[in-house]
Structure 1
Amino acid sequence: MRNALPNLKKEIAASKGRHLVLVLDFDGTLTRVRRRFEDVRLSKSMERSLCSLSKLKDVRVVILTGRTRPFMRKTFNVPGVEVIAERGVFLTREYRRNKSSITLMLGKMNSLLAPLTRKYGARVEKKEASTVFHVRNVASALKDAALQEAVEKAMSVRGVGRLFTPVYGRMTVEFQPKGLPDKGEAMEEIIKRYGSENMYVYIGDDEADEPAFKAVKKRGFGVLVRSKEKDYINTKAKYYLKGLAEVRNLLGLVYALKKNEGRG
């Protein structure tokens, strides 16, 4: 697996002037992962990079995140960049049909998970369509036990098994409504919206991003953001970047290459 930076010029050249749709995850890709998920913020330098890219006529920038709409409205304000929160769940027919039941069950799950935040030092992130149990602050020896107990508690609510499924991430488990689009399905919707003739690049750092890497393979490529080489095994991404500094460098390089391409 190769680093994306020295290969980007070749990839842009191979796109033969096609418009670029650059889709990025938020946490861990554009921002540092914090012990408290509420403390995540976009740096000024990353904000400037995204803002510059969004001004190019042949580049479209999209943020595809599991974060809530209120959180993104509060913390992310880059003109010209589209934000798709909670993986676009609000657009699905399943969510609209089951919204009242989902809201009721989320309330019950959150009540059962609350004691575990005190027991383990974990945190619960309440979303509009799901609930996330975070164990970043939990002692290493207790993380697995905390996640297991959270799943047992949440899934014990009557009817939850019919409407929800637990999805594991990096030090999290998210209780998602069944039918919630994964990032691959959301990526396919983005491709339908902007057109299959464009070049698509997806950048992400988590297991949840793997379906999106797969979705862009025929129309571009995926980039995995991880610092350890062992994490590059079994990924569907074509390239890797080592951390936020390299993500920022890639955004700057995309800007320079596409701007020069436009002049040509």
Structure 2
Amino acid sequence: MKLLNDGLSIDSFWGRLASSGNRILMLDYDGTLAPFRLERDKAMPYSGVKDALTRIMDIPRCRVVLVTGRTVSDIASLIDIHPLPEIWGAHAMERLDKDGIYERNPVPPQTEQLVTDLYNWLFLKGYKSQTELKPGCLAFHTRGMEEDDAKRLILEIKDKYLELIKNNKREDDLETHLFDGGIEFRTRGADKGRAVNAVLREGGMDAAVAYLGDDFTDEDAFKAIKEKGLGVLVRRKYRETAADLWISPPDELIDFLSYWEEMCRR
């Protein structure tokens, strides 16, 4: 565990968590709660994670929120916690609240069609298993590929995207984002920071909050929580980040969750 923000006292944060009657723990999934897997449907949480989250959810006034680039349905099947925690999926394009009510942000028809056209092209190219279609988003995964092949494919996909825009006289209404192991095309404004800001507004100024994430896509969340709570980079190898604290999974992750539970029970 390494403190990255000299202006933050981790002891003061734990003290605030222990004394607060309003705690919110927000967590990414892939790379944070679960190791990356080539077979994405088999990316199960690290040993001990489900039990730790279940215990935290059982504590009064402790809100657990999963914020992920995956779809809500994907995460619900993988996390396998009953009842489910709150889940914000597809970079805040969809939400399953703590009462099981599902909401999905509307996507303009032309944007949805653009995402679908790009997906169909990748499907015909034989890349169905590497392609993830989500509400207003499309992700292409290069994990497991040779580096040169991955770079070539990413450039080819970008070129095809620009071709689709030009041929159909469409606006460039998607944002392109590289992530650890691929490229993603998203509806403008869809990012994890959007989910964090919404949760912070709902939680109120007195909430003791933290966000745990690993990827470049989590940087929007770290920036959103800055000076309002604790941003935690969960990653075995350090990288530049806006997070306040760096921990290495799985051992330090389990330690963090256990200490969160202990402080909340006080």
TM-score, normalization: structure 2?
0.84
* Counterpart residue type for residue 42 of structure 2: D
Structure 2 counterpart of 1:128, which letter? Answer: P
Question: What aligned pairs does 1:101-250 form with structure 2 within 5 A after superposition?
Answer: 101-117=110-126, 123-157=130-164, 158=168, 161-180=171-190, 182-229=191-238, 231=239, 233=240, 235-250=241-256
Q: 1:37 to 1:160 in 2, by over 3 A?
A: farther
CA deviation string 1:183-241 (max 9, x = no partner): 12221111111212101100000111112112212221100012123x1x3x1101101
The whole-number CA distance in structure 2 between the counterparts of 1:236 and 1:81 is: 26
Change (3 A) 1:69 1:80: closer
Structure 1 match to 2:78: 75
1:59-116 CA-partner distances (Å, limit 9, x unpaired):
211100111122123223322621111122147xx95261x33332222111222355
Deviation, structure 1 residue 141: 2.5
- The residue identity in structure 1 corresponding to 2:51 is R
The letter of the residue matching 2:76 is R
Structure 2: state its 5+ residue gaps.
96-103
Residues 160 and 132 from structure 1, CA distance in 2 versus in 1: closer, same or farther, beyond 3 angstroms? farther
Q: Structure 1: which 5+ runs fail to align?
A: none
Secondary structure (helix, strand or coil) at the match of 1:168 reads: strand
Q: CA separation in 1, counterparts of 2:183 and 2:252? A: 28
Q: Which has the higher helix share?
A: 1
TM-score by length of 1: 0.85
The aligned length equals 249
Aligned to 2:65: 62
Whether contact under 8 Å (1:135, 1:172) holds in the other structure is yes
Contact 1:116 1:146 in 2 (8 A): no
RMSD, aligned CA: 2.5
The percentage of aligned residue pairs carrying the same residue is: 23
